[in-house]
Amino acid sequence: MKKAFLTLVTFMAVGLFTLATAQIKTPQPSPTAKITQAVGLTDITVEYSRPSVKGRTIYGGLVPYGEMWRTGANKNTIVTFSAPVKIAGKDLKAGSYSLFTVPGKTEWEIIFYTDTENWGTPEKYDAAKEAVRFKATSEQMDFNIESFMIDLGDLTNDGLTMGIGWEKTWISFPIKLTTDEVVTASIRKAMAGPSADDYYAAGRYYFESGKDLKQAYEWLHKSNEMDSKFWKLRQESLVLAALGKYKDAIAVAEKSKSMAVEAGNKDYERMNTESIAEWKKKM
């Protein structure tokens, strides 16, 4: 019994020691970094790990020339765009991309890859997942960058420069934004006045909130004048009925029903049929 007790005490002591040591935290050799930069109307986020030189030969040594590199350490570097951008003349949709590179002595290949779930480079590379691949000139500097870095600079409303620096090597390339297109489209839309959808949203809100029914009708009617849809006509008929204008409500409901039948929407066909029967009784 005594031997068993001592064995149990020893086991518990080892377990407590293991638990205690597991709580010790040490610095990451390649700490993670996350930068988010607003440029024009676009947010750009870069998530990556930052290894240090530590006296080593980096390019042509730790990072071989001519081989694909994760562009950092640990998990692959991820770049996220909140809006579409253009790189090397190619359009990239809003979203997240892995940033891979193929370093060379005087020129690098830069790759934005659509699969971001990789530890390092992909186990099985798929060229179909390349959003864009292009070349950028490698520059040699007369000073050392100890910790690997990615920089977002030269900011304007319409673009920026992404830079990659480590050891004495610097690579940069431009990213073009769609700021001007978005702002111009927004200005044209605002100057043209409310859209049919704007009138519909405002009219429906006024009706459902029990606000000014006459105003709700004017907006819904305007929306249907601009772009008739069976669901919008349905709302207009409901407002007319709420105003006690059953004859007009029935006429609009008939149009809504006809369009619903044509579209194959049984729900709106049924709702309009029931409302028309109900309003006829009230006339």
The tens digit of pLDDT for each residue in 99-147 reads: 999 999 999 999 999 999 988 899 899 999 999 999 999 999 999 999 9
Pairing between β-strand 95-102 and β-strand 78-81 as defined by DSSP bridges: antiparallel
Cα–Cα distance measured from residue 221 to residue 252, given in angstroms and rounded to the nearest whole number: 10
Give the helix/strand (H/E) hosting 250: helix 246-263
Give the helix/strand (H/E) hosting 274: helix 266-282
Cα–Cα distance measured from residue 243 to residue 254, given in angstroms and rounded to the nearest whole number: 18
pLDDT at position 16, please? Answer: 46
Instruction: Give the pair of three-digit tokens for residue 69.
Output: 């590199």
The amino acid present at 60, given as its one-letter code, is G
Instruction: Give the pair of three-digit tokens for residue 191.
Output: 């100057």
Cα–Cα distance measured from residue 125 to residue 68, given in angstroms and rounded to the nearest whole number: 10
Give the helix/strand (H/E) hosting 34: strand 32-39
State the burial class of residue 118 (Cβ atoms within 10 Å of its Cβ: 0-12, 13-18, 19+): middle
- Asked if 163 contacts 172 with a C-beta cutoff of 8 angstroms, the reply is yes
| pLDDT beneath 70: ranges in the chain | 1-22
pLDDT at position 22, please? Answer: 58
- Asked if 251 contacts 224 with a C-beta cutoff of 8 angstroms, the reply is no
Full-prediction pTM beyond 0.75? no
Domain layout of the chain by residue ranges: 26-181, 194-282
Helix axes 213-226, 196-208, angle to 10 degrees: 150
Summarised one tens digit per residue, pLDDT across range 220-238 is 999 999 999 999 999 999 9
CA dihedral 15, 17, 18, 20 (to 10 degrees): 120
Q: Is the domain 194-282 a CATH 1.25.40.10 member? A: yes
Provide φ and ψ at 172, rounded to 5°: -145, 155
Strand partners of residue 172: 163
pLDDT at position 9, please? Answer: 45
Instruction: Give the pair of three-digit tokens for residue 78.
Output: 């991820």
